[in-house]
Amino acid sequence: MSSVPPVTASPGIQSVDKAFDVLQAIVASDSPMRLADIARATGLARNLAHAYLVSLRRVGAVVQDPETARYELGEAALQLGLAALSRLDFLTLARGVMKALRVELGESVWLSVWSDRGPVVVANIEGLHASTFGVRIGSVVNLSVTATGRTFLAYVDPAIYRPLLKKERARLGLFAPNEVDLNRIIADIRRLGVTVRPQAAPAPSVVLGQFSALAAPVFDHIGTIKAALTMIGQGPSFDLSVDGRYATAVRSAAARLSARLGFVSEAAA
C-alpha cells in the first residue's frame, strides 16, 4: 500500500498561491489598496490581478469601496483570521520560541502576561548554565525595577498600571526610579523595541542585582501587548548592547510570536 506523499511533494494549484499573494498584499497595507498597487505588490499584470480580485470578491474574501474603487479584506477573510487566532495555543507556541532562544544563547528565558497584580510569569525555561536565580510560575514581577515590568509599563495604559506603581514605590522606596527617570526609560524602550536591565542596577534584592536581563514585547492582532519575553543571565558574556546578538535574538523571537498572533508591525506594513 503506497503512502500518502507529504504536502511539500505536491506542486499545488498555482492560482491559489497567486490569490493568497493578493490577500497578503492587502494585509500588509495600512490602508485600502488600488488595483495598480496590488498588481505592483504581487508582480501580477493588472488584468490578472483584477481577475483574482473578482474571484476573491465573489467569495467574500475581499470587498471594494464603490466610491474609491479601492480593495480591502472582506468578512470571509476576517472570519478565517479570527478562527485561526481562537485556535492558537499561545503558551505552546511561546514555549517553542523560548526553547529555540535558549538553545541559541544558552540563557534562561521566561514569559510573563499582565494581570490585576501586574506582570505574572506563566512559562519558564532554565538556561544551560547553573544559576542561583530562579523564578516560579505564578510569580508577580516588579514593575519599575525589572526588564519585564518596564516592558509592560511602556505599552500598558498608564491608567491601569498607576495604582500598582504607586504601591510599588511605597514598598521599594529609593530602589524605584522617579517619574522623570521612568519616563525616559519608557521612551527608550518604545524607541529601541527592547528593555535592558544591566547587572548591578539598583534592585530590591541582592540576587536580582547580580543578574542582567533583556525583554521585548509580544503584541496581539490589534497591537495590544500580550506578553513580555525575557532573557536573564549573568557575567560579562551576557551582551547588553541594544544592537548586539542577545538583544537582536530576543526582539526577533518576540516579533515571531507577535506575527503568529496576527500582529503586523508598522515596519512590515
pTM of the predicted structure, to 2 decimals: 0.67
Task: Give the CATH number of domain 90-260; options: 1.10.3300.10, 3.30.450.40, 2.40.128.50, 1.20.1630.10.
Answer: 3.30.450.40
Secondary structure of 41-66 in the HEC alphabet? HHCCCHHHHHHHHHHHHHCCCEEECC
- What is residue 13's predicted lDDT score, i.e. its pLDDT? 66
Q: What is the Cα–Cα distance from 111 to 98, expressed in whole angstroms? A: 8
Q: Are strands 212-219 and 225-233 parallel, antiparallel or unpaired?
A: antiparallel
| Average pLDDT by stretches of 10, the chain with 269 residues | 41 76 85 92 92 91 90 82 64 91 92 90 83 72 92 96 92 88 94 82 55 92 94 84 94 94 71
Residue 143 contacts residue 161 (beta carbons within 8 Å): yes
pLDDT digits (tens, 9 = 90+) for 4-56: 344 444 455 678 888 889 998 988 887 889 999 999 999 999 999 999 999 99
> Domain ranges in the chain?
7-85, 90-260
Q: What is the Cα–Cα distance from 266 to 219, expressed in whole angstroms? A: 12
Beta strands in the chain (DSSP E): 62-64, 71-73, 108-115, 118-125, 195-197, 212-219, 225-233
Residue 73 contacts residue 62 (beta carbons within 8 Å): yes
Task: Give the CATH number of domain 7-85; options: 3.90.950.10, 3.30.70.2740, 2.60.40.1120, 1.10.10.10.
Answer: 1.10.10.10
